[in-house]
Amino acid sequence: MQPTPQVQPPGAAGLAVQLHDQTPAAIDVPPAWLSDFDATAGRDFDQAMAGLRRRARLAEDADLLAALAPDNFTGPDYDRFAEELAKYGMAVIAAWIVQGVIFQKYRERGLGTLPEPSPGALNQPDVAAELTNETVAWALHHFRRTVLLNNRWDPKKGASLKTFFVGQCLIRFANVYNRWRDNDQRNAAVLIDDLLLLDQPLTSTPRTDPAELAVIRQEADTRLAALPPRTRKIMVLTAADWPQQAIAAELGMTEKAVERTLSYYRKTERRKGA
Amino acid sequence: MTSPDPQPRPIDAKIERSSLGTPEARRMRARVPTADARAVVARAAGYPRTVRSTKTSRNVGG
């Protein structure tokens, strides 16, 4: 008796699969979604999933803006959003400035070429922080006015809200940086080598005695010689009892930046002394 | 605007679901103190609607 040949039923686990040739009903989905799923067939599943997650985030970005729009992007909810957007922008821009890649990023965005500073010039804590804060503040200002209120961000174009904002930061960086550069060069030229300012102190400055000023001048020439010009000037004017507000005004920076520079210098000195 | 606001609000959930809520974006945001960010937001709010440069006809600040 011939054994009956066993026929393996279709299906990976030997389970019967009912095949049919019915045409599935047409489903109205964006073509880009289908291409992502095509990718799963032969290419990278993770890539396809990342695409879906990105689209989900874009939809959530749109939802977030829809919640803020009725109040014209004002009020406590907008402030909270702006705060988190600022944090993200500040972290990104500060990192790019300190790493020295911001000029490359600027070029890559097709925004042109900015004159680069001398090596290390932007690594000073007060400089990096001030450029970052000013850049992000202007970016927030323009982002709200020109992008959010005019509905210029479009999720269909693929850039997320945070990416769009960083683009805005790069645009604003140019003016902020150019102003800083003009100011810094002017300070470096005028300033401190001869410390003429100390010969014409503020009327409210307690130190006007020429002997005292000479001591400060000598101190600046020796101990502070290695410091960058602006930091040196801050130190000298502080030694001459200029108020931080006056120093900030003189150097075109904020009081906070003056304070931060002093704090950084003192910490450095303490480390040297330890 | 300087006091901490520990109570989560509905907008917070929306922010975390948005592109600001990706793991990378959250790490970046965590680097910046809230007080610093608030100071920048306040600075932005204080900028005039239109700023004219004294040097050129371009807008100052971008």
Nearest to A138 among B12, B19, B61 (CB): B61
Nearest to B31 among A58, A91, A256 (CB): A91
Determine the residue of chain A that is closest to B33 in CA distance. Answer: A87
Chain B segment 37-56 residues within 8 A of A by beta carbon are 37-41, 43-45, 47, 49
Nearest to A171 among B10, B17, B62 (CB): B62
Which pLDDT does position A185 carry in this prediction?
65
Q: Could B18 and A57 be called an inter-chain contact, meaning their C-beta atoms sit closer than 8 Å?
A: yes
Asked if ipTM goes beyond 0.85, one says no
CA B7 to chain centre: 19
Determine the residue of chain A that is closest to B17 in CA distance. Answer: A60
Using 50, 70 and 90 to split pLDDT, how confident is the model at B8?
confident
Which pLDDT does position A75 carry in this prediction?
95
Query: What domains sit in chain A, N to C, each tagged with a CATH number?
Result: 46-186 (no CATH), 196-273 (1.10.10)
**Sign of the alpha-carbon torsion through A168, A53, B32, B39:** positive
A146-198 pLDDT per residue, tens: 999 999 999 999 899 999 999 999 999 999 999 888 777 665 544 444 444 55
Residues of chain A in contact with residue B9, where contact means CB-CB under 8 angstroms, are: 76-77, 80
Question: Across the A/B interface, how many CB contacts are shorter than 8 Å?
Answer: 120
Nearest to A77 among B11, B34, B61 (CB): B11
Best CA proximity match to A166, nearest among A215, A105, A228? A105
Which residues in A53-73 are b (16+ Cβ under 10 Å) and which e? eebebbebbbebbebbeeeeb
Report the C-alpha dihedral over residues B8, B13, B18, B24, rounded to 10 degrees: 60
Which pLDDT does position B50 carry in this prediction?
59
- Among A85, A87, A145, A165, most B C-beta atoms within 10 A, so best to mutate, is A87
Nearest to A64 among B14, B22, B45 (CB): B14
Does the CB of B4 have a partner CB in chain A at under 8 Å?
Answer: no
> What is residue A123's DSSP assignment?
G
Query: How far is the alpha carbon of B37 from chain A, nearest alpha carbon, in Å?
Result: 6
Q: Could B15 and A172 be called an inter-chain contact, meaning their C-beta atoms sit closer than 8 Å?
A: no
| pLDDT in single tens digits along all 274 residues of chain A | 455 545 444 444 444 444 445 555 555 656 666 565 555 555 678 888 888 888 999 999 999 999 999 999 999 999 999 999 999 999 999 999 988 899 999 999 889 899 888 777 787 767 889 899 999 999 999 999 999 999 999 999 989 999 999 999 999 999 999 988 877 766 554 444 444 455 444 555 555 566 766 666 666 666 666 677 777 778 777 877 778 888 888 888 888 888 888 887 777 777 765 5
